[in-house]
Chains A and B, each alone.
Chain A
Amino acid sequence: MLFRTAEDGTLISPSTGARNACYARESRKLAVAVARQALNDAPGFAAQDVTHVVFTSCTGFSNPGPDFHIIRELGLRENVQRYTLGFMGCYAAFPSLRMAAQFCEADANAVVLVVCLELCTLHMQVNDAPDSILANSLFADGAAAAIVSARVPEPRSAAYRLHGFESALVASSEQEMAWEIGDEGFNIVLSSYVPDIIGANIRALLGGVLQRQNLAFDKIDEWAVHPGGRAILDKVQQSLALKPEALNASRSILRDYGNMSSATILFVLKELLDEAESEPAMTCAMAFGPGLTVETAVLERLGCTVPSAKPPAMQSLPVGVTD
């Protein structure tokens, strides 16, 4: 049990070291489980096929870390190339997928296992400040794993073709969001203006991205927006003049799971895959983080799929309790 109650009923705030020790223990189990699930469920891929592992997290550090344990416990080849993208924040799935795509471009036989794992609630702040309450309410724990390769998927299989990625920095917004290491957990700096800033800039940023992909705005069929919070989704919907149902997948993931930082956008993309009908669809995905950084990707959802089981929604057990 990481968070303990004192005799007077108040909650004792653990040190960063204690929180990170919990991260090292729990992230290993979760990373191995989600990677195993991805390999078991991906048709035509076996553990020995994996050539690269890209592990992404901003909520803890350990070495040998989850990437190492994935290789050992799943029986991947020991010469698998390992990469860790650390401390980037909610948008980090995009550089992970971009790196995977670049590996596949360089080597047609590359099979990249991308794992995004976040245990945000380890950094819960024990105080009654409104900002702490907001963050404690919003952030959650979760992991996602994606299998990326240059192999052409079987007809009618559920998959995305990666068309392109783009990074952008919003001018004069460096102070609005940050992620820092404190003595009692990691601390987020989150200005209340972030949704407004994103809303004011997203259309222009996206216009450039789509232009470089030779895509018109009205050719985007589906939207996968990182649900950093309800206000962010509302602002993006308003700025892009999207129909309310356009962000159903993002709102559904926020409602059912919370903001799981870098893992969240993969939950959204999976939700769109699971609910896909037969027609392919151009999909625009985006996420935001410290900087302010805006990461976008254009993907083409291929074919249809058989819905898979969702992980359980939030439950109320203490951090540190093993499942």
Chain B
Amino acid sequence: MSAYIHHIATRTPGYTYSQAYTRDRLKKMPRPCCSARRRTAR
């Protein structure tokens, strides 16, 4: 195979709301139970 990746550019939109929201929620919550067999999230 004679193909090359010549350049990679990366960018973020400058916001990541869910992390900040989650940190805030965690501060207010008791420690969560993580025993669930199946995780369904988001």
Contact = CB atoms under 8 A, between A and B. Distances in A.
Given A125-B42, A188-B41, A136 B4 contact: no
A123 B42 CA distance: 6
Interface in A151-178: 151-153, 157-164
Main SS at interface, chain B:
mixed
A139 B17 CA distance: 10
Contacts of A278: none
Given A130-B36, A188-B41, 6 more contacts: A137-B23, A142-B12, A149-B3, A159-B4, A159-B7, A267-B10
Interface of B: 1-23, 25-26, 29, 32-34, 36-42
A160 B4 contact: yes
B7 A42 contact: yes
A220 to B, nearest CB: 17
Contact of B5 (A119, A125, A146, A152): A146
Interface centre among B3, B19, B29 (most CB of A within 10 A): B3
A109 interface: no
Nearest to A119: B13
Main SS at interface, chain A:
mixed
A147 B3 CA distance: 10
A273 B8 contact: yes
Interface in A174-207: 185-192
Interface string A1-37: 0010000000100000000000000100110011101
B32 to A, nearest CB: 4
A235 to B, nearest CB: 16
Contacts of A141: 12-13, 15-16
A146 B4 CA distance: 10
A227 to B, nearest CB: 14
